[in-house]
């Protein structure tokens, strides 16, 4: 496997350009348009994305839904603080989680949540995770009742009521993510309806976003980095729409890096996909030959991240870093709640 130097994906971002809150309206986010064939960058608003799409294009949306995965509690009996970030369901009543303070929470420690719900801390797992077991069968109901939206760690504020709506795509349908597929946050139902009326089609898949996509790459040789698996599902309807689009020569426009990874995981000979589900740890970095994706809607990603490496594989590292530099000069807003980029 060729060496890919992590430092080649570094850039300096002024802290004031980090978006700590979403734009006032989803579709009012700014949009930088980059043509992989070359030419100047274009600047628009996301509401104008229809000017860059055409009848027959197929938008592939990730309809995962962010769960309220963060729980604040206390150690039963002592009152000491104990926090949980649920990552994925591991069995009946059992979840994999990050717990804090992990060293002080021994196997069997009971945590009181919301003053009346109990969970028990279990064995230590790989990657600093722990197993936790709940007394209730309805863990998702518990999360809806007392859980908080798991905002990214660089957003150093408590989530508020607005985050419950804005850190979720308008087409979210399937519970499972602990982070939003952020490229989709800019769409409104009206904008999707407008695109449909102009002949832009949509297909929907699922990839439940875990911590793996966002954990930093620590190795100097990025090719040695291993992504944590994330669950994905492409049903027959999605596969049929993607294959029909490929057959008629339509552009497959992935909405977000999660849609890219699901499609590329399911790619067969490069001309079609079959329905598929399971776990993917697909890590895309330069050089990579994309089989199923012709255009990409994405946000501006953290330096040295696997997400920045993916978009660099799609459009070229130098071209992407050049675009990021211009975005910084024009004071675009970066990261999950930030502005968007369309790569065609």
Q: How confident is the model at residue 148, as a pLDDT?
A: 95
- Could you tell me which CATH class the domain 6-66+164-343 is placed in? alpha beta
Distance CA 176, CA 58 (A): 24
- Structural domain spans, the chain: 6-66+164-343, 70-146
Q: How confident is the model at residue 213, as a pLDDT?
A: 72
pTM: 0.94
- Could you tell me which CATH class the domain 70-146 is placed in? mainly beta
Q: How confident is the model at residue 214, as a pLDDT?
A: 73
Distance CA 247, CA 241 (A): 10
Burial class (CB in 10 A: 0-12, 13-18, 19+), 332: buried
Q: How confident is the model at residue 2, as a pLDDT?
A: 59
Q: Which residues of the chain register pLDDT less than 70?
A: 1-2, 268-269
Cα atoms in the 13 Å half-sphere on the side-chain side of 40: 2
Give the other-Cβ count within 10 Å of 232's Cβ.
Answer: 24
Cis amide bond preceding 101, omega within 30? yes
- What DSSP character marks residue 18? B
- Beta carbons within 8 Å of 39's beta carbon, 6+ residues apart: none
Torsion (CA) 178, 181, 185, 191 in degrees, nearest 10: -140
Query: How does pLDDT run across 92-128, given as a tens digit for each residue?
Result: 899 999 998 877 788 888 899 988 889 999 999 988 8
Q: How confident is the model at residue 13, as a pLDDT?
A: 97
Q: How confident is the model at residue 54, as a pLDDT?
A: 94
Q: Report the 3 state secondary structure along 197-212.
A: HCCCEEEEEEECCCCC
């Amino acid at each position: 496997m060729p060496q890919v130097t992590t430092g080649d994906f570094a850039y300096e971002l002024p802290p004031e350009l980090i978006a700590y809150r979403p734009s006032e309206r989803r579709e009012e986010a700014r949009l930088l348009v980059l043509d992989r064939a070359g030419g100047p960058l274009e600047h628009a608003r996301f509401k104008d994305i229809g000017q860059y799409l055409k009848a027959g294009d197929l938008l592939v949306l990730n309809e995962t839904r962010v769960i309220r995965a963060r729980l604040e509690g206390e150690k039963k009996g002592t009152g000491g603080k104990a926090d949980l970030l649920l990552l994925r369901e591991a069995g009946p009543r059992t979840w994999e989680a990050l717990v804090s303070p992990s060293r002080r929470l021994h196997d069997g420690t009971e945590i009181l949540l919301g003053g009346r719900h109990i969970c028990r801390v279990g064995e230590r797992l790989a990657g600093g995770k722990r197993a936790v077991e709940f007394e209730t069968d309805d863990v998702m109901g518990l999360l809806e009742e007392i859980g908080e939206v798991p905002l990214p760690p660089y957003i150093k504020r408590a989530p508020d009521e607005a985050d419950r709506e804005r850190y979720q795509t308008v087409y979210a349908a399937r519970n499972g993510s602990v982070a939003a597929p952020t490229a989709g946050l800019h769409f409104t139902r009206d904008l999707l309806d407008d695109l449909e009326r102009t002949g832009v089609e949509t297909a929907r898949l699922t990839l439940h976003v875990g911590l793996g996509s966002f954990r930093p790459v620590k190795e100097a040789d990025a090719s040695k980095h291993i992504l944590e698996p994330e669950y994905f599902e492409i049903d027959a309807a999605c596969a049929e729409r993607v294959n029909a689009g490929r057959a008629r020569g339509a552009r497959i426009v992935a909405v977000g890096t999660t849609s890219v990874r699901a499609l590329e995981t399911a790619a067969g000979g490069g001309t079609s996909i079959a329905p598929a589900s399971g776990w993917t740890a697909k890590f895309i970095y330069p050089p990579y030959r994309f089989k199923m994706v012709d255009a990409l809607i994405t946000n501006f990603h953290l330096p040295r991240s696997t997400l920045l490496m993916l978009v660099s594989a799609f459009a070229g590292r130098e071209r992407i870093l050049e675009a990021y530099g211009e975005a910084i000069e024009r004071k675009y807003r970066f990261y999950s709640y930030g502005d968007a980029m369309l790569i065609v």
